[in-house]
Amino acid sequence: MQVCSVCANQTSKYRCPSCRASSCSLPCFQTHKSGCTHPASKTIANPTSPPRPSPASVEDVPFSDSLIHDPRLQKLFDQYPNLRVKLKYIFDTATGNGHGDEPSNPNARGQRYQNPPNKRITHAMRILASQLNSENADGSGVKAFAEFVAELNPNRSGGDTGHENFLP
């Protein structure tokens, strides 16, 4: 263990981000910082041009973030007013946040019974499949949403963009 470079009495707990000198406490760190000969480098960004993400960082963006921030999603919600409600219902079914939509367990003794995750997800996938296969799938926006997600994420495993494989 290193000793504090300021007071030399205590074991160091902190390091200066500029010169990596060790210090034992906030007062010792502040004393060191006031006389540090290696000031932290300050990079000034060019305000006229935003930094371009590298190709690796573009791939690191989670799919959910790219979905949420895509302006086409808001257009879908504007075009199909009930789409948000339908998707929320499917999501709530899958996560168990629904309001009694799942079959109840007669042995639950007054407690709200919650199906295991695999059953909830299977039930949600069946709801999604029935929405996609219904006669009004085009009018409800569910089919347009599924096509949008498939277009946004073309590299998903399986390779097909159809909805016939939704049921496990």
Share of the chain above pLDDT 70, in %: 64
119 Cβ contact list (under 8 Å, min separation 6): none
Measured CA to CA, the distance from residue 74 to residue 80 in angstroms comes to: 10
DSSP state for residue 19 in the 8-state scheme: T
pLDDT tens, position by position, 67-105: 888 888 899 989 988 888 888 888 888 888 765 444 555
Range with the largest mean pLDDT of 4-18, 26-40, 59-73: 4-18
The pLDDT of 52-61, averaged and rounded, is 51
Average pLDDT over residues 8-16: 83
Residue 5's pLDDT is 83
Determine the average pLDDT of the residues in 40-68. 57
pTM for the structure as a whole: 0.49
Tokens of 160: 């097909």
Tokens of 156: 């998903």
Distances, alpha carbon 23 to alpha carbons 17, 41, 136, in Å:
11, 20, 68
Which pLDDT score is estimated for 3? 86
Gyration radius (Cα) of the chain, Å: 27
Phi first, then psi, for residue 109 (nearest 5°) are 55, 50
Name the residue with tokens 């030399």.
8
